[in-house]
Amino acid sequence: MTAERSGGSGLEASRPGGPARPAWTFLTNHGHVLLSVAGDPDILVADIAERVGITTRAALQILKDLESAGYLQRARVGRRTHYTIRPHQHFRHPATAAQEVDGLLRLFAAPAPDEGPAAATEQ
């Protein structure tokens, strides 16, 4: 997949017909897939792909990578797949290898600072 820049906006096309995405993000597609599964352990692969902005085939490959590396487990439940996150796995990059991914999962599971109970009472 090649990235196409759209003018000086700092955006690139994610895939043909898909919405434009920023030219770079802080998290990789692997991180976004892991967060999608953590948020919904019964999510469909097609829904992961749509949420992350990648193809279904790419989502399947990333799920395979994450499972092979021990970050998640897949189990068939009837005709569906249920994912279980293994949160005490360490990040793979040497600069962050001392940290476990559960910190990232907690960060994104928590409500944003402006979405907490205090923000609701201020409105």
Q: How confident is the model at residue 2 (pLDDT cuts 50, 70, 90)?
A: very low
Average pLDDT in the 32-45 region?
97
CB atoms within 10 A of CB 38: 21
| CB-CB contact of 101 with 71 (8 Å) | yes
88, amino acid identity:
H
Instruction: Measure the CA–CA gap between 23 and 7, rounded to whole angstroms.
Output: 11
Going by C-alpha positions, the residue among 73, 92, 93 that lies closest to residue 83 is 73
pLDDT digits (tens, 9 = 90+) for 51-89: 999 999 999 999 999 999 999 999 999 999 999 999 899
Residue 17 has pLDDT above 80, yes or no: no
* Tokens (6 digits) for 21: 């995405």
pLDDT digits (tens, 9 = 90+) for 84-118: 999 899 999 999 999 999 999 999 988 777 765 55
Instruction: Measure the CA–CA gap between 121 and 123, rounded to whole angstroms.
Output: 6
Alpha carbon of residue 5 to chain centroid: 23
